[in-house]
A and B are shown apart, each in its own frame.
Chain A
Amino acid sequence: MVDIALGTALAAIGAGIAVGFAGLGSGLGQGMAAAGSVGAVAEDPDMFAQGILFTALPETQAIYGFLIAILLMVFGGILGGETALPVEVGLVAIGAGAAIGFAGLGSGMGQGMAATSSVGAVVENPDMFSQGILFTALPETQAIYGFLIAILLMVFGGILGA
C-alpha cells in the first residue's frame, strides 16, 4: 500500500472537489446548451456554428477545475513527487478545491442556462447573436473569482512555490 501523508491526502480531496464540482456544473450547463442547440439545428441547420459556440462556453469551468486539480496533485505530492504536505497545508488545498469547485458549479449551470436561452434567441432572431454571447459570458466571472482565489490560496498557503 502506498504511504500517503495526511496533508497530501487532504490535497487529493481538494483536487477531487475542484474537478468534481466544477465538472458537474460545467457538464449540466453544457448539456442544457447542447440540448438547446440540437433543437435549434433541427429547425435551422445554419445554426450549427453558433450552437457549437454557445455549447462550448460552459466548458471553461471544468477546465479551471481540472487545472487546479492537476496543480494540487503535482504540488501536493500525488503526481511525480515525494512532497508530503503538512496537515494545515492540506486543509488549504481543500479550501482551494472548494473555491473553484463550488464557483464552477454555480457558474457552469448559470452559463448553461444563459447559453440555452441565447441559442433560442438567436434561432428566433439571428441579430441577437452578439447580445447572446455577451449575456452568456457574464456568468463566467464567478468561475474566474473562484479560480483566482484557488490560485492565491495555493500560492500563499504554501502549496505553490513553497
Chain B
Amino acid sequence: MADSISAIVTSMGFSSIESFIGLLLLAGFIIGAIVVIVTIKPVFEMFPYAYPNARVRARIGRLITQKQFSEILESENLEEVKNYLRGFPEYSKYVDKYPLEKALDIQLAETHDLIARIAPGGIKDVFRVLLKKWDINNIKTLITAKEAGLNPEKTAELLIPFGEISDVVEKLVEVKSVTEVIIGLEGTEYSQILEDALTDYEEKGMVLPLEAALDKFYLENLLKAVSDPSDANTTLLHPYIGTQVDASNLKIILRAKADGLKYDDISPYMISKGYQIRDWKLKDLMESEDVSGVISALEGTDYSAIMVDALAEYNKTGSIAPFEAALSEYIQKTAKTLSLKKPFGIGPMIGFLSRKEVEIKNLKVIVRGKRESGFPVSVIKEMLV
C-alpha cells in the first residue's frame, strides 16, 4: 500500500512523500480557511441582533391582541380601561402615575428608548434619531402651551419625561412666551431651525411654521441616518423611513390642496429625497390644482392604488381623514413586509416598533372615546387602525 502511494507520488513529480503531504496540507489549510470565512461571515452579521431581537420578541408576545382590544372596547369607562391596562407590565407602572394618555405616550417613549439602547452599532444612530421625536414633541407642547397661555403646572403635566434635552425642556415651563422658549433652547440643535421659522410665526400669528420646521428637521435627520447604508440591515431601513417621509409629504400636500393652497405655500414644508416620491414627482404633486389632481399625479407609485380607494370617501365627506388612514395602513403594511425580510437582523425591531405605535394609537382612540360618556363602541371600532 505504502509502496503504491509512494509510486503515485513520485510519478506526480514529487521528490518524497513528505513534500507531497506538505502540499496537501497547505491546500487543505487554504480550502479550510475559505470554508470557514464563507460560512462564518453571515453568522457574524446575525450575532449582534441575537440579544436585541430576543428582547423585542418578548415584547411582541406581550402586545395587546385583537381579543384583548375587543375586551378593552367593551369597558364601561376610563377606570375600567385603566384596570385592564394594569394587567400589562409595560403599562401598569405608568397608569397610576400619570393621566392615561400621557401614560401611553411615556410607554411609547420608553419603547423607543429601549430600542435605541439595545440596537446594535450599525443601526443605533437611526433609533437615536427616532428618540428625538420626544424632544420635538415636548418642544411642540411647550410652544402650543405658551401660545395658549397655560400656566407652568399645566404645561409640565403635558410634557413626556423622555428625550435628550428633557431637563432643558422642563426648565422652560416657567417662561412666558413662545419667543422665550426659542431663546431658552439656545445651545440645542433645535435653536437655529426655530429661529429661522420665528419670522414666519410672527407674521402669520400661528405656531404651524414652528411645528412644521421641527417635523421637517426630524424627518430630514431620519433620512440622513439611513442615507448611507453599510449593510443589508441598514439598507432595509431606507424604505421604512422613506415611506414615512413620503406619507408625511403627501399628508401636507393633501391638506394644503383641500384648503386651496398653492405651490409656494406648500414647498417650504416639503422634505426631499423620499422613497417613492422623488423631487420631480413632489413638484408635480405640489403643482396639482386640487386633491383629485394630486391623486392622478401619484400614478406610477404604490400610493396611487390606495389613494384612489380613499378618494371616493373624500368626495363624499370632504375630509382628508380617509387618505391619512390609508397612508397609515400602508406604512404598517410596509413595516410588516420589511420585518419578514430579515428575521435574524433588523426585521423584528421594525415589526415591533410599527405594531407598538399602532397599539398606542388605538389605545388613545379608545381612551378618547371612553372619555365621552355614551360614545358608541361601533364608532370607536371604526376609528381603530
Contact = CB atoms under 8 A, between A and B. Distances in A.
B13 to A, nearest CB: 18
A6 interface: yes
Given A88-B5, A124-B61, A39 B36 contact: no
B51 A87 contact: no
A120 B61 CA distance: 10
B61 A35 contact: no
Given A36-B51, A38-B51, A117-B344, A13 B58 contact: no
A27 to B, nearest CB: 11
B62 to A, nearest CB: 8
B54 A36 contact: yes
Interface stretch (B39-47, B177-185, B314-322, B332-340): B39-47
At the interface, is chain B mostly helix, strand, loop or mixed?
helix
Given A21-B36, A36-B50, A88-B2, A123 B43 contact: no
A13 B343 contact: no
Interface residues of B, number: 31
Contacts of A62: none
A119 B53 CA distance: 10
> Chain B CB within 10 Å — which of A105, A109, A120 has the most?
A120
Interface residues of A, number: 40
Contacts, number: 95
B50 A87 contact: no
Interface in B92-146: 118
Given A40-B58, A123-B57, 10 more contacts: A32-B43, A32-B50, A38-B54, A40-B54, A43-B58, A88-B5, A94-B28, A105-B36, A120-B53, A124-B58
25 contacts: A24-B40, A28-B47, A35-B50, A35-B51, A36-B50, A38-B51, A39-B50, A39-B51, A39-B118, A40-B54, A40-B57, A40-B58, A42-B55, A47-B58, A87-B5, A102-B35, A105-B35, A105-B36, A105-B39, A106-B39, A120-B53, A123-B54, A123-B58, A124-B58, A125-B61
Q: Which 10 A-B pairs have the closest CB atoms?
A: A39-B54, A43-B58, A124-B61, A35-B50, A120-B57, A39-B51, A123-B58, A36-B54, A39-B55, A36-B50
Interface of A: 6, 10, 13, 17, 21, 24, 28, 31-33, 35-40, 42-44, 47, 86-88, 91, 94, 98, 102, 105-106, 109, 112-113, 116-117, 119-121, 123-125
